[in-house]
Amino acid sequence: MTKTYEIRKPIWCAGCGHFGVQGAIQYALQAAGIELHETLVLAGIGCSGTVQNNIGAYGYHAMHGRVLPTAIGVSLANPDLTVIAAGGDGDGYAIGGGHLMHALKRNANLLYVVMNNGVYGLTKGQDSPTAKTPLAAPEEDPLDAMMLGLSIRSTTFLARAITTRSDQLNELMLMGLQHSREGKGMAFIEVLSPCVTYDDTYSQWMNKVYDLDADPDYRNDDRGKAFFDLNRLIEQSLIPIGLIYHGEHASLQSAMLSDVTPFHSLEDQHAGHFNQHMEEVLSAYAV
Amino acid sequence: MKPAIYDISAAVDKDLLRAEVRDDLTVMVAGQGGDGSLTIIALLSKALLHRGYHIYRTSDIASRIKGGHAAALMRASTKPRGNLGDQIDILIAFDLEAVQKASNRLAPNSIVIFDSSREAMPPDLVPETALMIPVPFSRLSVRDLRRDLFKNSLGFGLLGRIIGLADKEVESCLRKHFKKLSSAQLEPNIKALREGQAFADKAGISGRNSILTLPAQAVENERIFISGNHAAAMGFMAAGGRFFAGYPITPATDVMNFLERNLPAVGGVVMQAEDELASINLVIGAALTGVRAMTASSGPGIALMLESIGHCGSAEIPIVIIDCQRAGPSTGMPTKPEQSDINMVTRGGNGDYPHIVLTPGDPEECFYGSILATNIAQRAQCPVILALDAVCHDNFTVPRFDLERARIYPGKRVTESDVAQMEEYRRYAITEDGISPWAVPGTRDAMNLVTGNERNEWGLVTTEPDMRVAMVDKRSRKIETVRPLLPKAVEWGDVNSPLGILGVGILGGVMTEAAERLAEQGLHFHCHRPRTLWPVLEDTIDFVNSHERVYVVEQSEGAQLAGLLKSEGARADKIVSILKYDGLQFSTAELVATIVEKERLA
Ligand SMILES: Cc1ncc(C[n+]2csc(CCOP(=O)(O)OP(=O)(O)O)c2C)c(N)n1
Ligand code: SF4
Q: Which amino acid is located at B600 in the chain?
A: R
Count A/B contacts: CB-CB distance under 8 Å: 218
Judge: B225–A74 Cβ closer than 8 Å, yes or no.
Answer: no
- Measured N-to-C along each axis, helices B560-567 and B538-545 cross at an angle, to the nearest 10 degrees, of 100
| B373, β-bridge pairs | none
Q: What is the pLDDT of residue B296?
A: 98
> pLDDT digit string (tens) for B554-563?
999 999 999 9
User: Ligand 1 test: best mutation among A122, A128, A200, most atoms within 8 Å of CB?
Assistant: A122
pLDDT top residue among B325 and A259: B325
The mean pLDDT of B195-199, rounded to a whole number, is 92
Residues of A in contact with B400 (CB under 8 A): 282, 286
Structure confidence at residue B143 (pLDDT):
74
Classify residue B554 as exposed, middle or buried by CB count within 10 Å of its CB (0-12, 13-18, 19+).
buried
- Average pLDDT, integer, range A237-261: 90
Return the residue of B nearest to A273 by Cα: B266
Smallest-distance ligand from the CA of A198: 2
The hierarchical CATH code for the domain B225-404 is 3.40.50.970
The residue that leads in pLDDT, B319 or B410, is: B319
Q: What is the pLDDT of residue B511?
A: 98
Mean pLDDT of the region A209-236 = 98
How far is it, in rounded angstroms, from Cα A112 to Cα A126?
Answer: 23
Mutate to test the pocket of ligand 2, among A51, A193, A196, A199 (most ligand atoms within 8 A of CB): A196
Least confident span in A140-144, B61-65, B444-448, B484-488: B61-65
DSSP reduced 3-state for B142: helix
Cα-to-chain-centroid distance, residue B550 = 25
Of B294, B274, B301, B290, the residue nearest B437 (C-alpha) = B290
Q: What would the mean pLDDT of B330-356 be, rounded to a whole number?
A: 97
Determine contact: A279 vs chain B, CB below 8 A: yes
Q: What is the mean pLDDT of residues B204-215?
A: 92
- d(C-alpha A121, C-alpha A112), whole Å: 19
Of A245, A168, A164, the closest CA to residue A207 belongs to: A164
B157 within 8 A of B192, measured Cβ to Cβ: yes
Which of B284, B286, B424 lies closest to A3 in CB terms?
A: B424
In three-state secondary structure terms, B114 is strand
With a cut of 90, say whether residue B537 has pLDDT above it: yes
Tell which residue, B451, B441, B447, has the closest CA to residue B471: B451
Q: Which residue has the higher pLDDT, B117 or B66?
A: B117
Residue B501, phi then psi, degrees to nearest 5: -125, 130
What's the CA angle centered on B569, arms B566 and B572, to 5 degrees? 40
**DSSP output for B320-358:** EEEEE--B-STT-BTTS---TTHHHHHH-SSS----EEE
Among partner residues B243, B292, B447, which is closest to A5 by beta-carbon distance? B447
A166-175, B34-43, B250-259, range with the lowest pLDDT: B34-43
Give the residue, by CA position, lying nearest to ligand 1 atom 22: A123
Q: Out of A49-58, B126-135, B248-257, which region has the weakest mean confidence (pLDDT)?
A: B126-135
CATH topology classification for B4-213: Pyruvate-ferredoxin Oxidoreductase; domain 3 (3.40.920)
- Give the ligand 1 atom nearest the CA of A195: 20
From the list A69, A274, A279, which residue is nearest B281 (CB)?
A: A69
Question: In this complex, do B289 and A39 lie within 8 Å of one another by their Cβ atoms?
Answer: no
CA dihedral angle for residue A112, residue A117, residue A119, residue A125, rounded to 10 degrees: -130
Q: Residue B516 is which amino acid?
A: E
- DSSP symbols for A183-219: TS--EEEEEE--BTTTB--HHHHHHHEEEGGG-TT--
Residue B184, class by beta-carbon neighbours within 10 Å (0-12 exposed, 13-18 middle, 19+ buried)? exposed
Of A13, A67, A91, A113, which is best to mutate to test ligand 1, by the most ligand atoms within 8 angstroms of its C-beta?
A: A91
Question: Pairing relation of β-strands A239-246 and A157-162?
Answer: antiparallel
Question: Could you tell me what percentage of chain B is helix, strand and coil, using 3-state DSSP and rounding each to the nearest 5?
Answer: 40, 20, 40
Is the per-residue pLDDT at A138 higher than 80? Answer: no
Out of B403, B424, B458, the one facing A278 most closely (by C-beta) is: B403
At residue A136, the pLDDT reads 61
Q: What is the mean pLDDT of chain B?
A: 94
* Residue from the list B281, B441, B460 with its beta carbon closest to the beta carbon of A5: B460
B149 vs B504, residue with greater confidence: B504
Interchain proximity B269–A257, CB inside 8 Å: yes
Average pLDDT, chain A: 94
Closest CA to A185 of A258, A105, A123: A105
Please tell me the distance from the alpha carbon of residue A193 to that of residue A118, in angstroms, as a whole number: 9
- Partner B contacted by A185 (CB < 8 A): no
Give the span between the Cα atoms of B480 and B484, in whole angstroms.
8
pLDDT tens, residue by residue, B214-253: 999 999 899 999 999 999 999 999 999 999 999 999 999 9
- Testing the interface with A: which of B49, B282, B316 to mutate, by most A Cβ within 10 A? B282
Contact assignment for B453 to A38 by CB distance below 8 Å: no
pLDDT tier, A263 (very low <50, low <70, confident <90, very high otherwise) = low
Mean pLDDT across A64-73: 98
The answer to whether the Cβ–Cβ distance between A70 and B281 falls below 8 Å is yes
Of B318, B301, B401, B407, the closest CA to residue B356 belongs to B318
Distance from the Cα of B47 to chain A's closest Cα (Å) equals 9
Spans of all domains in chain B? 4-213, 225-404, 416-473, 490-601
DSSP-derived pairing of the beta strands B69-77 and B54-61: antiparallel
- For the cut 70, the answer to whether the pLDDT of residue A117 exceeds it is yes
Please give the CATH architecture assigned to the domain spanning B490-601: 3-Layer(aba) Sandwich (3.40)
What are the Cα distances from residue B238, in Å, to A51, A284, B375, B426?
A: 38, 16, 11, 31
Q: Do domains B225-404 and B490-601 have the same CATH topology?
A: yes
In this prediction, residues A24-42 reach a mean pLDDT of: 98
Average pLDDT over residues B516-539: 98
Identify which of B68, B66, B60, B63 has the alpha carbon closest to the alpha carbon of residue B28. B60
pLDDT tens profile B75-99 = 999 999 999 999 999 999 999 999 9
| Residue A39 sits at the chain B interface (C-beta within 8 Å) | yes
Contact A39 B441 (CB under 8 A): yes
Considering chain B, what percentage of its residues have pLDDT values greater than 70? 97
Q: How far apart are CA A67 and CA A82, in angstroms?
A: 15
Q: Please report which ligand is nearest the Cα atom of A197.
A: 2
pLDDT above 50 for B8: no
- The answer to whether the beta carbons of residues A190 and A169 sit under 8 Å apart is no
Whole-number pLDDT of residue B62: 72
CB hemisphere CA count around B540 (13 angstroms): 27
Which residues lie with the beta carbon below 6 Å from any ligand 2 atom?
Answer: A 12-13, 16, 18, 47, 117, 121, 195-198
The band of A257, judged by pLDDT with boundaries at 50, 70 and 90, is confident
Tell me which of A129-133, A279-283, B98-102, B439-443 is least confident: A129-133
| Minimal CA separation from B505 to chain A, in Å | 22
Q: Does A266 have pLDDT greater than 60?
A: no
Strand order through the sheet with B69-77: B4-5, B131-135, B106-115, B88-93, B24-32, B69-77, B54-61, B395-399, B223-227
Tell me what pLDDT residue B148 has: 67
ipTM, interface predicted TM-score of the complex: 0.97
- What pLDDT is stored for residue A134 in this prediction? 57
| pLDDT over 90, % of chain B | 85
From residue B64, how far is each of B29, B335, B341, B588 by CA, in Å?
18, 10, 24, 29
| Three-class secondary structure of residue B596 per DSSP | helix
- Ligand that comes closest to the CA of residue A46: 1
